[in-house]
Structure 1
Amino acid sequence: MTTVYMVRHGETDWNRAHRMQGWSDIPLNEKGREHAAFAAKALALVPLDVIYTSPLKRAEKTAEIIRGERNIPLLAEKGFIEINLGKWDGHTPEEMDALYPGQYDIWRSTPGDVHIDGGETFAKVQERAWKAFLSMVDKEKGKHILLVSHMGCLSTILFKIAGYPLNDLWKHPIGNCALCRVDIEADGTMHIEEWGRDDYIPHELKMKVPFGRVKK
């Protein structure tokens, strides 16, 4: 059995401001480091063999905090980077409304249909994230793996396993430093055992509106 523990990075200032956050390399804020510390406690007794992470600093720092003093290899893999948001990166929902009328509502309601100027589609994210995931699982067969990445990237992997359509992406949110777990049998059969578990993070540290403004 191969087990993959998947954790989203901790909070950044852009998360807090509900700014679109893709490839911009925004660091964890103080609250984000607290998120990672609670995830570290939750995973302290898990016998991790290797840690894979997105190359963005918010994911790498989260991975480092979870690893702590343990001697576990930490590998950055570009296939696990967040969606490239192109010209949208850094904008708030209000700025999106002004600059790209109607596009933020498509992003929120049917994300699988989004086409971003200079960026990626979620289908493209799923394609390269799934390729990286299969490569990782094959290389680390039989091990306990931690993967620290981003909500968009991790969600596309889980949606591939579950067979869900990408337009339902936001119906299964993954909070900051929430945990997902996938077990892979010797024949390659995959089972999602946990999805977005965050009971180890105090309620007051969780974002009250995880995805910003949603029009009625």
Structure 2
Amino acid sequence: MTAVFLIRHPETTWNLDQRYQGRLDAPLSKRGEEQSRRLVASFRHSHLSAVYSSPLKRSRHLAEVLARASGVALQIDSRLTEMAQGPWEGMTLPQIEAAHSLLYRQWYSRPELVSFPGGEDLAAVRQRTQSALGDIFHEHSAGNIAVVTHSVVIQVLAASALLLDLRYLHSIRATNCSVTTICGTRAPGALFSLNSTDAIYGSAVSSAELNGCTTSEPRRLTS
């Protein structure tokens, strides 16, 4: 049994501005830098077997430090990058609502129907992220694996583990530097915990907290 810790990147200056990043990058905020330090410290007893990351700098920054602290090589996987959101990238929420009002309303009501011009849709995100998760399970038949990635990627992976339709995407939250845990032997796995911020607010993440996740098949939740 393998435990995959899905870690959203730390807070960036664009997160503070409520500005969509997508495939663009912004530097970490001061709070993001502190979140990164706390997250790495919380994993010091977790015995990570591997660390994977999106190629985007806001994820890679944390992943590089986490991999070095864990004594493992960092593995970059482009399938873990954020959803491509076309013209929204670099825009604030008020700007998007004003310039793309119809698409904005649809994204927050029926996200599974949205295909971003010059970007992608959620079906494409699900396909590539399930492929990445499947390869991780195949490569690591047991142990603890960290994956540093992005909000939509985590939302899609969690929805898939719960067998939820992607129309419910926004019912799932992944805040900055939160940890969502998926356990199993093959994709989509089973959701063990969602959007935990214990790692950055005091409690350590350790294999002991998995409560049997790595030793027995978890019961699958259904939609």
Aligned to 2:56: 56
Distance in structure 2 (CA, Å) of the matches to 1:189 and 1:15: 28
Please report the RMSD computed on the Cα atoms of aligned residues, expressed in angstroms.
1.9
Aligned equivalents of 2:161, 2:133: Cα separation in 1? 11
Inter-CA distance 118–2: structure 2 relative to 1 (3 Å threshold): same
Note the 1:1-216 alignment, pairs <5 A: 1-185=1-185, 190-202=189-201
- CA gap 1:52/1:88 in 2 versus in 1, 3 angstroms: same
Q: What SS is found at the alignment partner of 1:144?
A: strand
CA distance in 1, matches of 2:118, 2:12: 23
Q: What is the alpha-carbon distance in structure 2 between the residues aligned to residue 199 and residue 189 of structure 1?
A: 24
Supply the distance in 2 between the matched residues of 1:8 and 1:24 (Cα, whole angstroms): 16
Contact conserved, 1:37 with 1:66, CA < 8 A, in 2?
Answer: no
For the residue of structure 1 that corresponds to 2:14, the secondary structure is helix
CA deviation digits over 1:131-180, x for unaligned, max 9?
11101210122232111100101211121111111111111101101011
For residues 19 and 188 of structure 1, do their structure 2 counterparts lie closer, same or farther at Cα, with a shift above 3 Å needed? closer
1:85 Cα shift? Answer: 0.8
| Per-residue Cα deviation, 1:29-63 (whole angstroms, up to 9, x for no partner) | 22111111221122221000110000000000111
Q: Is the 8 Å Cα contact of residues 49 and 73 (structure 1) preserved in structure 2? A: no
For residue 86 of structure 1, report the CA deviation from its aligned partner. Answer: 1.1
The TM-score, its normalising length taken from structure 2, stands at 0.84
Q: Which amino acid aligns with 1:74?
A: L
Paired with 2:176 and 2:167, the residues of 1 have a C-alpha distance of: 21
Distance in 2 (CA, whole Å) between partners of 1:138 and 1:90 is 36
Aligned length, in residue pairs: 202
Quick check: 1:40–1:67 contact (8 Å CA) kept in 2? no
Query: Which stretches in structure 2 are left out of the alignment for 5+ residues?
Result: 203-223
Choose 55-64 or 67-76, whichever is displaced more. 67-76
What is the one-letter code of the residue matched to 1:105?
A: R
Q: For the structure 1 residues 198 and 92, does the alpha-carbon distance in structure 2 shift closer, same or farther, using more than 3 Å as the test?
A: same
In structure 1, the residue corresponding to 2:11 is in which secondary structure?
coil
Q: Write the letter of the residue equivalent to 1:184.
A: G
Amino acid at match of 1:134: G
How many angstroms apart in 2 are the aligned matches of 1:34 and 1:43? 15
Q: Does the aligned pair in 1 maintain the 2:36–2:177 contact within 8 Å?
A: yes
Q: CA deviation at 1:116?
A: 1.0
Give runs of ≥4 in structure 1 deviating > 4 Å. none
Kept after mapping to 2: 8 A contact 1:40/1:68 = no
The residue identity in structure 2 corresponding to 1:13 is T
Q: Which runs of 5+ in 1 are unaligned?
A: 204-216
Query: Amino acid of the residue matched to residue 169 of structure 1?
Result: L
Q: Is the 8 A contact 2:130 2:188 kept in 1?
A: no
TM-score, scaled to structure 1: 0.87
User: Can you list the C-alpha shifts for 1:50-88, whole angstroms capped at 9, x where unaligned?
Assistant: 100000000001112333533111100000000001111
Matched residues in 1 for 2:81 and 2:199: separation?
25
AA partner of residue 160 (structure 2): K
